[in-house]
């Protein structure tokens, strides 16, 4: 049976925090729309987060249009609490769940949005599909038989890993948290460390994000950042939700072994870059530059600085079987999948071409990507300002296409 086409002014794809924030902005402007969600509201938070995860941002930063968190301002929401928050926030929004968008293609009056529940026609489309894939790097193909590979999106807890040593690849927020948790479970852990962004959890008596927020660093616009492509691809802060600082020093003190960036695996032997000392020095240098800028904002007096990162004597090669490695956890980055767009808007790496969320196709928008319009776009906290700007742009687009 062929399902008949339905029409609306705007289709929003995805009912995570960005899609729901955009829905709120469209409702404020009395724009007819529907939010299409492949699963349930907050699908990624329900299915693609590990059990112990907490937000890296304190609760006072969990700000959405029409919503301010009312719990402990200095707490950190668990994944389950984020689901509850978004469930409540979605009340009254025109969300159609269990609806997978399979294609978006151009039409004379805008777009056709194909779904497994039938097509929609719309004059504008907002992509809020979230960060949904964690592709294994090519090097993962060389992991020897008998050693399990698990991506950060598939990882739930140490219990799912076989007994024995674990190689965690990637030292951004996910990598250091998983290395810490797995090590605490009693498994020996080796952490493969490439470029990373080191920050303390607290500085000058306050959460580091307080200073980034108050000083205006998080409000740097995408068109003011020196290298926005690099900014959008930087590793996430080495942070964990809670009061403690979790960095390479803390991990080494606990017994986690550090090695350099994984370059390849040949005949069961992992090969690591020898640049670990330089990578560590660069991260410490950037940390101190950031803290210098915070000191200047706070009045000039220098705050107490974290100790320099200890540089280990890391091996350049590791025979995985002989070292007792029984699983590899890949914390090598997650990204959105826009391969279902039937529009010429993707670059050679599959990324979507846009200027501050305005995609390179009239009437198409994207929200929820890192440094989309500001540095704070990386966090839930960025959705309010980003969606306000894009909703205004969308209104302008609609006004120029009336009766066209």
CATH number, domain with residue 122: 3.50.50.60
Tell me the Ramachandran region of residue 261: left when phi exceeds 0, alpha when psi lies from -120 to 50, beta otherwise: beta
Same domain, 212 and 303: yes
300 within some domain: yes
Which tokens is 356 given?
């501050």
> Which of these three, 330, 345, 366, is where a domain ends?
330
154 and 121, same domain (yes or no): no
Please state the domain count of the chain. 2
Domain boundary among 312, 330, 348: 330
In a domain, 66, yes or no: yes
- pTM for this prediction: 0.94
Q: Is the dihedral of CA 97, 102, 104, 105 positive or negative?
A: negative
Query: Are 96 and 180 part of one and the same domain?
Result: no
In terms of domains, do 115 and 148 share one? no
Is 193 part of a structural domain of the chain? yes
Instruction: From residue 37, give the alpha-carbon distance in Å to each of 100, 116, 278, 335, 367.
Output: 6, 11, 44, 18, 15
Do 301 and 184 lie in one domain? The reply is yes
Tell me: do 319 and 348 sit in the same domain: no
Dihedral angle, C-alpha 20, 25, 28, 30, nearest 10 °: -90
Indicate if 340 and 284 belong to the same structural domain: no
Does residue 388 share a domain with residue 267?
no
Do 23 and 116 lie in one domain? The reply is yes
Q: What are the two backbone dihedrals, phi and then psi, of residue 34, each rounded to the nearest 5 degrees?
A: -140, 145
The whole-angstrom separation of Cα 79 and Cα 55 is 7
Is the residue at 289 inside a domain? yes
Residue at which a domain ends, from 330, 346, 369: 330
- Is residue 68 domain-resident? yes
| Domain co-membership, 292 together with 397 | no
Give me the pLDDT at residue 247, please.
97
> Are residues 43 and 155 both part of a single domain?
no
Determine the Cα–Cα distance for residues 173 and 313; give it in Å rounded to an integer. Answer: 23
pLDDT of residue 404: 46
The reported pLDDT for the residue numbered 3 is: 65
Cβ atoms of residues 272 and 192 within 8 Å? yes
50 lies in some domain: yes
Residues 150 and 273 in one domain: yes
pLDDT of residue 134: 63
Assigned domain for 239 exists: yes
Q: Are 173 and 194 in contact (CB under 8 A)?
A: no
pLDDT of res. 1: 41
Below-70 pLDDT ranges, the chain: 1-3, 130-134, 402-404
User: Is residue 1 one of the residues assigned to a domain?
Assistant: no
Structural domain harbouring 175: 138-330
Distance CA 346, CA 360 (A): 9
């Amino acid at each position: 049976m062929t399902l008949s086409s339905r029409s609306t002014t705007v289709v929003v794809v995805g009912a995570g925090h960005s899609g729901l924030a955009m829905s709120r902005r469209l409702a404020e402007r009395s724009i007819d729309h529907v939010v299409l969600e492949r699963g349930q509201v907050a699908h990624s938070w329900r299915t693609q987060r590990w059990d112990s995860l907490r937000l890296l941002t304190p609760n006072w930063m969990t700000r959405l249009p029409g919503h301010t968190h009312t719990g402990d301002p200095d707490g950190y929401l668990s994944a389950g609490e984020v689901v509850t928050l978004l469930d409540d926030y979605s009340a009254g929004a025109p969300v159609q769940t269990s609806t997978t968008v399979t294609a978006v293609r151009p039409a004379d009056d805008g777009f056709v949005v194909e779904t497994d529940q039938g097509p929609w026609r719309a004059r504008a489309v907002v992509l809020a599909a979230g960060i949904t894939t964690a592709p294994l790097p090519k090097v993962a193909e060389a992991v020897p038989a008998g050693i399990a590979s698990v991506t950060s999106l598939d990882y739930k807890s140490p219990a799912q890993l076989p007994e024995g040593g674990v190689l965690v690849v990637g030292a951004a927020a996910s990598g250091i948290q998983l290395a810490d948790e797995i090590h605490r479970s009693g498994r020996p852990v080796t952490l493969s460390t490439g470029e990373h962004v080191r920050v303390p959890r607290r500085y000058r008596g306050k959460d580091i994000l307080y200073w980034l927020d108050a000083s205006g660093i998080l409000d740097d616009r995408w068109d003011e950042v020196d290298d926005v492509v690099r900014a959008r691809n930087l590793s996430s802060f080495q942070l964990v939700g809670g009061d403690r600082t979790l960095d390479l020093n803390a991990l080494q003190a606990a017994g986690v072994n550090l090695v350099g960036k994984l370059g390849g695996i040949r005949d069961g032997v992992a090969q690591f870059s020898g640049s670990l000392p330089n990578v560590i020095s660069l991260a410490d240098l950037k940390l101190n530059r950031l803290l210098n800028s915070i000191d200047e904002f706070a009045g000039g007096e220098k705050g107490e600085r974290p100790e320099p990162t200890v540089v280990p004597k890391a091996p350049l090669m590791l025979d995985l079987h002989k070292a007792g490695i029984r699983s590899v956890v890949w914390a090598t980055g997650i990204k959105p999948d826009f391969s279902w767009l039937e529009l010429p808007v993707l670059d050679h790496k599959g990324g979507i071409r846009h200027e501050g969320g305005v995609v390179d196709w009239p009437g198409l928008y994207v929200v929820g990507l890192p440094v989309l319009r500001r540095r704070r776009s990386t966090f839930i906290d960025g959705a309010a300002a980003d969606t306000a700007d894009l909703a205004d742009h969308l209104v302008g687009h609609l006004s120029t296409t009336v009766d066209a």
